[in-house]
Amino acid sequence: MKALVAFLAMLAPALASHISLTERSVAAPNSSSPAPGTPSGAYCECGYTYCASVLMAMKTPWTTKQLANAYCTTSHAACSSGKPSTGINTALFICLCNDAGQKYGSNLDLLCACDKCLVVAPDFRGRSDAVVRDWSN
């Protein structure tokens, strides 16, 4: 048994010298370079829900113009001349992406015009407190 341990102790450094980690390296968490596949400008994680207030507070913030556009281009959203019928600051959006494997995107769809948009632990994803407008009919 001692011979096996000694053999493995000698073998490990030899094997380690042949393993390349450069192909799998990623940017450090505090790196200023964007993660692979991250769009330039304002972006979101595919499939997640966001309160407008969170989107406007991101490192690269969404503008009220971008959010109003996302609001008004959503099917059946109540907009008049490109202006949301309710306050945009409490709107709840979902991030939509074109490809199934895509992690980040920049397409938002309005989920609801809320009285209050909640950001709740443990996942801190947006939720509606109450719906202002019912689009079901």
Average pLDDT estimate for 14-37 = 41
In a domain, 63, yes or no: yes
In a domain, 86, yes or no: yes
Phi, psi of 95 (to 5 degrees): -90, 120
- Look at 102 and 122; give whichever has higher pLDDT: 102
In a domain, 109, yes or no: yes
Q: Which domain holds residue 119?
A: 41-137
Banded pLDDT at 29 (limits 50, 70, 90): very low
In a domain, 27, yes or no: no
Query: Can you list the alpha helix ranges (DSSP code H) found in the chain?
Result: 2-16, 52-55, 64-73
In a domain, 35, yes or no: no
In a domain, 72, yes or no: yes
> CA-to-CA distance for 10 and 69, rounded, in angstroms?
63
Average pLDDT estimate for 51-80 = 92
In a domain, 137, yes or no: yes
**For the chain, what is the domain count?**
1
Banded pLDDT at 92 (limits 50, 70, 90): very high
Does residue 50 carry a pLDDT above 60?
A: yes
Does residue 8 carry a pLDDT above 70?
A: no
Amino acid in the structure at residue 9: A
